[in-house]
Amino acid sequence: MTQNRSGLELRSKISSLGTLELFLEEVVVPEPAPDELVIRIEAAPLNPSDIILLLGPADPSAIRQAGTVECPRAIATISPERLVGQKSRLDVALPVGNEGAGVVIKAGPDVQSLIGRTVAARGGGQGMYAQYRVLKAPDCLVLPEGASPRDGASAFINPLTVLGMVETMRREGHKALVHTAAASNVGQMLNRVCLADSIPLVNIVRSQAQTNLLRKMGARHVLDSTSPDFRPALIGALAETGATLAFDAIGGGTMAATILAAMEEVANAGSTTYSRYGSPVHKQVYIYGGLNPGPKVIEGNLGTAWGIVVLSKDRPGCGKEIARPRCCRTDNDLCEPLYSRDIADRGPVARRDRCLQPPSNRREISHRSERKGASEQLEELGISIASTSAHLVCSASFQEPRHISGLELHELLGRRLSR
């Protein structure tokens, strides 16, 4: 009788006493079911959602080595006030990693033809920071010949985020988009899709270098928020594009309110009648990231019809509405599932395969100062995580009631990936 192979998996555990532990656990790799694949994981991105689960509320700079050479661990102390909201995960060792890619080394009888192929996959809650993973074949994306696991490691989260943004715009009746932190991997993908689909896009960045990057990619409206003329430039871009929907990756501070106030100013400028309460044009911001962890400041003349929603990290696809004027209309679309079939039926999507390729200039995730602590500690544990993603994971349009399979995504994006 053949003995089952075993492999290491990265686990994250927060104890009820307030100690974060990162450690490698050896587990037996189960035999695949008829429609399952055994994948040797060779690349996985470090997405913000991965960091949320990996570190919880711990400070990366406070992580220290522990354990032994044979059983290394990384630990950090979390203060009691920062454990609020962590109750459901206390004293539970959780697998980490939302997506990744690798080579099929074993397969069930129904999918033998995939042995030796390179595939990308979502972890489905199992965790992709592991040596081996057993997954259903329909949940995997077969990569083109010659594509490496690193090429396809981010084939799910960022592309689905971008498509969710565009489809949310269409479902809610907007005609243009505003995106902050627009030089991110998600931002670069969104720019490609908007160019391909002729969707006006206002990109907001924070440096001249990022402005130059997006302009070289063909972006028309690129605004540097550190520039002294940022607000008049924003008003001009909104007037030209007609954008009334924004996706904000910054989170804290005044950016969301700044965008809404500029939209309101544009709406009032085009009004033929005066209203003491402001414009009735609906303006919407979805905060989907937290680059600035500080308070969200909402102030200024925003008109009578506006909304700000913070997309929930606990329930993918749904959001928490933090602000809306009393007389504003109510939207039900936010928590309504948008299935992959809804997207696949739209003509332009079939031509987006090239637009959704990961940027060619991606760097190791550890170049981001706020993540160096986590990345370096993982390196010391013998785990090297290749970069791909820069910002968030979920969009308002996706949630779990219907599973989006790898095969459907394959139809959605086409067969080309970055080489």
Read off the CATH number of the domain in which 43 is found.
Answer: 3.90.180.10
Q: Are residues 146 and 177 in the same domain?
A: no
The per-residue pLDDT of the chain, averaged, comes to 79
**Residues forming beta bridges with residue 134, ordered by sequence position:** 38
Q: Are residues 178 and 325 in the same domain?
A: yes
pLDDT at 291: 85
How much is the CA Rg of the chain, to the nearest whole Å? 22
In the predicted model, is pLDDT for residue 412 greater than 70? Answer: no
Q: What is the span of the domain harbouring residue 365? A: 6-154+361-413
Q: Are residues 370 and 307 in the same domain?
A: no
In the predicted model, is pLDDT for residue 176 greater than 80? Answer: yes
Q: Per the domain annotation, does 347 fall within a domain?
A: no
pLDDT at 367: 29
Q: Are residues 318 and 404 in the same domain?
A: no
Residue whose structure tokens are 């302009």:
215
Q: Per the domain annotation, does 137 fall within a domain?
A: yes
Summarised one tens digit per residue, pLDDT across range 5-24 is 899 999 999 999 999 999 99
How many other CB atoms are there within 10 angstroms of residue 6's CB atom? 11
In the predicted model, is pLDDT for residue 415 greater than 70? Answer: no
Q: Per the domain annotation, does 345 fall within a domain?
A: no
Q: Per the domain annotation, does 164 fall within a domain?
A: no
Pure H helices in 172-275: 185-197, 208-216, 230-241, 255-269
Q: Per the domain annotation, does 100 fall within a domain?
A: yes
Summarised one tens digit per residue, pLDDT across range 272-311 is 788 888 889 999 999 998 888 888 999 889 998 999 998 7
Helices 255-269 and 230-241 pack at an angle, to 10 degrees, of: 50
pLDDT at 2: 59
pLDDT at 375: 44
Give the domain CATH number at 246: 3.40.50.720
Q: Are residues 262 and 393 in the same domain?
A: no
Last residue of a domain, one of 312, 332, 352: 332
Q: Are residues 407 and 314 in the same domain?
A: no
pLDDT at 272: 79
Query: Greater confidence, 264 or 392?
Result: 264
pLDDT at 123: 84
pLDDT at 369: 30
pLDDT at 321: 53
Q: Are residues 201 and 324 in the same domain?
A: yes
Summarised one tens digit per residue, pLDDT across range 127-141 is 999 999 999 999 999
SS3 136: strand
Q: Are residues 322 and 405 in the same domain?
A: no
Summarised one tens digit per residue, pLDDT across range 326-359 is 333 333 333 333 333 233 333 333 344 444 544 4
Question: How many domains in the chain?
Answer: 2
Q: Are residues 216 and 246 in the same domain?
A: yes
Q: Are residues 309 and 381 in the same domain?
A: no
In the predicted model, is pLDDT for residue 37 greater than 50? Answer: yes
pLDDT at 289: 87
Query: Greater confidence, 393 or 286?
Result: 286
**Closest by Cα among 62, 10, 24 to 373:** 62
Q: Per the domain annotation, does 162 fall within a domain?
A: no
Summarised one tens digit per residue, pLDDT across range 47-93 is 888 998 999 999 889 999 998 888 899 999 999 988 988 999 999 99
Q: Per the domain annotation, does 348 fall within a domain?
A: no
**Closest by Cα among 11, 43, 14, 280 to 153:** 43
Q: Are residues 107 and 238 in the same domain?
A: no
Torsion sign across C-alpha atoms 384, 103, 93, 3 = negative
Q: Are residues 70 and 182 in the same domain?
A: no
In the predicted model, is pLDDT for residue 238 greater than 70? Answer: yes
Q: Per the domain annotation, does 67 fall within a domain?
A: yes
**Tokens representing residue 291 in the block:** 């680059």
Work out the pLDDT band at 145, boundaries 50, 70, 90.
Answer: very high
Summarised one tens digit per residue, pLDDT across range 255-277 is 999 999 999 999 999 887 888 88
